[in-house]
């Protein structure tokens, strides 16, 4: 594999206009596109065993098979966020499986989604991307059982993730309750790191931290779903912490307060943000939902920490005071040392960030 801090023979990121979960369509644009989707309000009545559909923008669909089993189905793919093909494959696969974990499920198998500029990327580079995805699936204990490939102008890789969950333990973004504690599993700053990486300003240690964070499978999901008092769960990806927290508050009809000082950050992220290493997706995120947030006394660079698109980000859990310690213990057992409480849910209809 290539040294990430030297110019490799093939720079994957030069083939794409965006990278990682920063490729997502802006939240406001997506809401507009889906606003007239005719089947959104009729799915529950037409398909009573469809436990989770598109109503609240949850991480995956869930379909009940019987009283103890439901299928979790999701798909996720994007363009390269790093130049190393093997690491790109690992990051994309980890990110895709995260949605299964976020619903409280366990992955069963995956299908590969592959779009590559054939003739521009050597076959060996493409093989390395696929090998990275296979390595993550092996770590998750599942096979890549098939997939689909096309000749595309930009490199695209991801997975369809299929999992299983007990219907009684499905976790959505709509279950938050006033008074709940908010626990975040991974540090923030992947988008800021990616912006610095493109400019050659990311240190070797920071690059290693980026890879470690984005390839850490969100395996605590099933254990968290089994804890009494866990009301809601989602993972933090392209819409940033603030965007995905707003999905919880909207769907749960609550408000939230987050303590900026308690946010876990990747090493050096605050300094990089202060120096202007912000992605375009971060600005699009703020333009989409900034009117729903109150940030008194928050500087622009601090705001960027909240809207920064996270590729393969952490789980965000809403839980009771009584279950708070059990939630943190579950994270720590799975190796998420920086999991921490970042705020509370409260009555109202917005998100307030306090410095």
What phi and psi, each to the nearest 5 degrees, are found at residue 174? -105, 10
Q: Which of 251, 240, 234 is nearest to 182 (CA)?
A: 234
CA distance 18 to 24: 9
The pTM (predicted TM-score) of the whole model is 0.91
Active site residue 21: yes
List, in order of start, the domains of the chain with CATH numbers.
Answer: 12-168 (3.30.1330.10), 172-354 (3.90.650.10)
State residue 29's pLDDT score. Answer: 74
- Cβ neighbours around 252 below 10 Å, total: 22
Query: How do residues 149-173 score in pLDDT, each as one tens digit?
Result: 999 999 999 999 999 999 999 999 9
Distance CA 347, CA 4 (A): 46
Q: Using 70 as the pLDDT threshold, list the residues of the chain that sit under it.
A: 1-9, 18-28, 30-31, 33-44
């Amino acid at each position: 594999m290539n040294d990430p801090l030297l110019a490799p023979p093939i720079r994957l990121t030069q083939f794409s206009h965006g990278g990682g979960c920063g490729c997502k369509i802006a939240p406001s644009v997506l809401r507009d596109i889906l606003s007239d989707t005719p089947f959104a309000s009729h799915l529950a009545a037409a398909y009573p065993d469809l436990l989770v559909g598109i109503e609240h923008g949850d991480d995956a669909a869930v379909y009940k098979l019987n009283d103890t089993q439901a299928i979790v189905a999701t798909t996720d793919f994007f363009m390269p966020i790093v130049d190393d093909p093997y690491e790109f494959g690992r990051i994309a696969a980890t990110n895709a499986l995260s949605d299964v974990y976020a619903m409280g499920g366990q992955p069963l198998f995956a299908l590969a989604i592959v779009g590559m500029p054939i003739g521009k990327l050597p076959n060996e580079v493409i093989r390395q991307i696929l090998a990275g995805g296979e390595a993550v699936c092996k770590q998750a204990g599942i096979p890549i059982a098939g997939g689909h490939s096309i000749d595309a102008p930009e490199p695209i890789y991801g997975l369809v993730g299929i999992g299983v969950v007990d219907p009684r333990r499905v976790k959505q973004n709509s279950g938050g309750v006033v008074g709940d504690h908010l626990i975040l599993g991974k540090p923030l700053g992947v988008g800021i790191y990616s912006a610095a990486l493109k400019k050659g300003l990311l240190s070797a240690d920071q690059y290693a931290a980026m890879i470690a964070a984005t390839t850490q499978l969100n395996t605590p999901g099933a254990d968290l779903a089994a804890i009494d008092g866990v009301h809601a769960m989602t993972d933090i990806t392209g819409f940033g912490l603030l965007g995905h927290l707003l999905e919880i508050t909207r769907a749960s009809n609550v408000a939230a307060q987050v303590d900026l000082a308690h946010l876990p950050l990747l090493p050096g992220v605050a300094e990089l943000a202060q120096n202007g290493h912000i992605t375009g997706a971060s600005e699009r995120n703020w333009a989409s939902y900034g009117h729903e947030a109150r940030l008194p006394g928050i500087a622009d660079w601090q705001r960027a920490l909240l809207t920064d698109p996270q590729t393969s980000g952490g789980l965000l859990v809403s839980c009771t005071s009584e279950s708070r310690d059990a939630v943190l213990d579950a994270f720590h057992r799975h190796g998420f040392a920086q999991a921490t409480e970042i705020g509370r849910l409260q009555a109202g209809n917005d998100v307030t960030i306090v410095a």
